[in-house]
Structure 1
Amino acid sequence: MTRALPLTAHLTDVGPLVYGCMALGGDWGGSPISEADIAQAHAAVEAALDIGVRLFDHADIYRRGKAEAVFGELLRRDAGLRSRIRLQSKCGIRFADDANVGRYDLSAAYIEHSVDGILKRLDIERLDILLLHRPDALMEPAEIAHAFGRLKAAGKVGHLGVSNMHAGQMRWLQTALAEPLVANQLELSLAKLDAIDVGTTFNDPQAASRPVAAAWAGTLEYAQQHGVQLQAWGSLAQGRFNDPAASAAAKVVHEIAEAHRTTANAVLLAWLLRHPAGIQPVIGSGNAERIRACGDATRILLSREDWYRLYVAARGQALP
């Protein structure tokens, strides 16, 4: 059973799942892309297409640019691929080098420079969605708005979104933008509950002592109110629930998977899909077989009882 997903009007054609391309392109060093890397990327992309994925997520830092470069090679080898998909990429993280520490940079100059690099590596003329990868402590909304306006006018970027920003940061940035932010990519999974916990356990003394969780207050609600598509990175929880003997929560995941005749990973994704915010899980595996298995999540509609059973098991304690 496939459920309709309440997406923002700007992203109606991308489906419930996103494929994250961080695993593509070989190593994180300076090794050139090989034919084996291209073959692995092709298999992963075909698997994602087979399960209905239409939005492919990149970042300029993934494999130090090689994830985008190998995807660009796929686009060159398959002339029809670009018309079947939507592409998004992220910018704003700068690695440490001999002269500088690792830092975030959402200055206009760096955003525009980054987009030119993204377009060149992907070998495309227009990026469907640009996400600002991390909140830069020195970011100025008006400067970002001017940069996006120039990129939009030049036909280089279609829409703007963010990543890892809470409601206050989105609201502040939106004050300078003529167009709405279309997406926010957060770390969300059964292993990363902060954005959900903060809305349900605000009166729990233990929860109140967790300032990281408190920072996300209102983020899911803001996104729903303003049509911002939420995307969940780390949705498979880095494999923490793969072994049913690993924890009580993993045991519950596998029991529910067995009841639905599916995999643990499909249950993890279905748990996110069940949320009324219309969260899009980002699948980051580079293994074609695992990617295809994730497609099962779209046919599972968890009951309210199973959703809460998973949530409480993952929390490790009863709700207040």
Structure 2
Amino acid sequence: MKTIKLGASLLEVPNIAVGCMRMSSLDKVQAERFVQTALELGANFFDHADIYGGGASEEIFADAIQMNSDIREKMILQSKCGIRKGMFDFSKEHILNSVDGILKRLKTDYLDVLLLHRPDTLVEPEEVAEAFEQLESSGKVRHFGVSNQNPMQIQLLQKFVKQSLVVNQLQLSITNATMISNGMNVNMENASAVNRDGSVLDFCRLNDITIQPWSPFQYGFFEGVFLGNNEKFPELNKKIDEIAVKYGVSNTTIVVAWLLRHPAKMQPVIGTMNMDRLKDCAEASDIVLTREEWYAIYQAAGNILP
């Protein structure tokens, strides 16, 4: 599997991340097989969060692989914190307690990457800086990032946090591509010109922040998948299937390849727990769509060019 540098760090990671949100739906045997398959594919970057399965996803992951120092060094572990019931919380106390809980559930001494999960409007960036400093100096976290944040929110944190924020995990798919479409409809009056995220795509590229697209197969906000949905997305599925036949791969592979074709060097987070589907996703690492194919898929989803 191809690799990229994670943000401005020296950390070399596969260009596809394995999302573990649904890990709690597997039993120990299923989870062990899934993780082993991912490692065999070279997909050794695993994305967690303290809220996934109420923490159960992290526990099942660690138990399934019988976490020990040898296997730990074969993988890159990322987790997220900051979401609590009814609120978001970036307080120093919550961040530190959350990381201790994550490490305990994952049965490891450190995280390769910690992300702040959703923007906390009551954030005190000085507290975040203190938490990050303590986590780094203690060796509990090696790299830091954010999730679902716009450029100004990142800049506010970065003003106080001395560590580089190397990741921004954002919703992005062929049908949820506003961060791409508003950059191609500058100074236009159509709906695609509306800048809803502060040009976050360009900002991340300018500041060496790796975008990790989440829900790459979803349309709307978890409304469903567009792949195979010929009722809502007939033209898109027709075009994806056509290109999949050309490359001799599945339609799943082409969807991931569409994201990887963008020069921002993104790292899509694949949330499937199906091993065959994971293999299809991994195949995308070696496929480079032509410019014509990329734009054809983009427009088949209903995205417009001015």
Fold-level similarity (TM above 0.5): yes
**1:111 corresponding residue in structure 2:** 95
2:3·2:12 contact (CA, 8 Å) conserved in 1? no
**2:196 corresponding residue in structure 1:** 215
**1:99 corresponding residue in structure 2:** none
Shift of 1:21: 0.3
Shift of 1:7: 4.3
**1:98 corresponding residue in structure 2:** none
**1:166 corresponding residue in structure 2:** 150
**1:21 corresponding residue in structure 2:** 20
1:57·1:88 contact (CA, 8 Å) conserved in 2? yes
**2:43 corresponding residue in structure 1:** 53
Q: What fraction of aligned residue pairs are identical, expressed as a percent?
A: 40
C-alpha distance in structure 2 between counterparts of 1:203 and 1:188, whole Å: 23
C-alpha distance in structure 2 between counterparts of 1:74 and 1:273, whole Å: 30
Between 38-47 and 201-210, report the one with greater CA deviation: 201-210
* Unmatched segments (≥5 aa) in structure 2: 219-223
Question: Is residue 305 of structure 2 the alignment partner of residue 319 of structure 1?
Answer: yes
Shift of 1:317: 4.8
Counterpart amino acid of residue 107 in structure 1 = S
Structure 2 counterpart SS, 1:84:
coil
**1:84-95 equivalent positions in 2, closer than 5 A:** 84-95=74-85
**1:76 corresponding residue in structure 2:** 66
- Structure 1 runs (4+) deviating above 6 angstroms are none
C-alpha distance in structure 1 between counterparts of 2:146 and 2:59, whole Å: 22
Question: Is residue 123 of structure 2 the alignment partner of residue 133 of structure 1?
Answer: no
2:179·2:197 contact (CA, 8 Å) conserved in 1? yes
* Unmatched segments (≥5 aa) in structure 1: 27-35, 96-101
Shift of 1:8: 2.9
2:2·2:286 contact (CA, 8 Å) conserved in 1? yes
Identify which of 302, 314, 319 aligns with 2:289.
Answer: 302
Between 38-47 and 160-169, report the one with greater CA deviation: 38-47
Shift of 1:9: 4.5
Identify which of 242, 264, 269 aligns with 1:277.
Answer: 264
Aligned CA distance change for structure 1 residues 78 and 40 (closer, same or farther; 3 Å) = farther
Shift of 1:4: 6.1
1:47·1:289 contact (CA, 8 Å) conserved in 2? no
C-alpha distance in structure 2 between counterparts of 1:69 and 1:317, whole Å: 41
Shift of 1:136: 0.6
Identify which of 242, 245, 257 aligns with 2:228.
Answer: 242
Task: Please report the TM-score for the alignment, with normalisation by the length of structure 1.
Answer: 0.88
1:164·1:186 contact (CA, 8 Å) conserved in 2? yes
C-alpha distance in structure 2 between counterparts of 1:126 and 1:7, whole Å: 17
Counterpart amino acid of residue 253 in structure 1 = I
C-alpha distance in structure 2 between counterparts of 1:60 and 1:128, whole Å: 15
**1:147 corresponding residue in structure 2:** 131
C-alpha distance in structure 1 between counterparts of 2:303 and 2:48, whole Å: 36
Counterpart amino acid of residue 120 in structure 1 = K
CA-based RMSD: 1.9
C-alpha distance in structure 2 between counterparts of 1:289 and 1:11, whole Å: 31
1:92·1:105 contact (CA, 8 Å) conserved in 2? yes
**1:31 corresponding residue in structure 2:** none
Per-residue Cα deviation, 1:98-130 (whole angstroms, up to 9, x for no partner): xxxx11111111111111110110011111110
C-alpha distance in structure 2 between counterparts of 1:179 and 1:227, whole Å: 13
**2:239 corresponding residue in structure 1:** 252
Question: Is residue 52 of structure 2 the alignment partner of residue 62 of structure 1?
Answer: yes
**2:32 corresponding residue in structure 1:** 42
C-alpha distance in structure 2 between counterparts of 1:299 and 1:273, whole Å: 10
Question: Is residue 109 of structure 2 the alignment partner of residue 122 of structure 1?
Answer: no
Counterpart amino acid of residue 127 in structure 2 = E
C-alpha distance in structure 2 between counterparts of 1:257 and 1:43, whole Å: 27
**1:229 corresponding residue in structure 2:** 210
Per-residue Cα deviation, 1:66-123 (whole angstroms, up to 9, x for no partner): 000111213435653211011010001112xxxxxx1111111111111111011001
